[in-house]
Amino acid sequence: MSVDPAIEKIVTETIEGEEEGIPMWSWFAIAGVVLVVLIIIALIIALVLCSRKKKDLAQPLLKPKIK
């Protein structure tokens, strides 16, 4: 019984663990880094908003440029 060479190659690569593309663990690492960056940005924004004085709360964070 002969096996098609293309099928044999796919089976051999799958058994040996040679996969093309990015491994699954790296996707989790990328997602973790993105999550940490988003949390840090949210904490910085919260810190800026909470550190403003009461009288400054009526003023906008960014003053509009008057021409």
Distance CA 23, CA 34 (A): 17
Q: For residue 25, what pLDDT is reported?
A: 85
| pLDDT greater than 60 at residue 43 | yes
Q: What is the pLDDT of residues 8-29, one digit of tens each?
A: 777 666 655 555 677 788 989 9
The domain limits of the chain are: 22-47
Buried b (16+ CB within 10 A) or exposed e, 48-66: eeeeeeeeeeeeeeeeeee
Q: Taking all residues of the chain, what is their mean pLDDT, rounded to a whole number?
A: 78
Q: What is the pTM of this model?
A: 0.51
Q: For residue 41, what pLDDT is reported?
A: 97
**pLDDT over 90 percentage in the chain:** 27
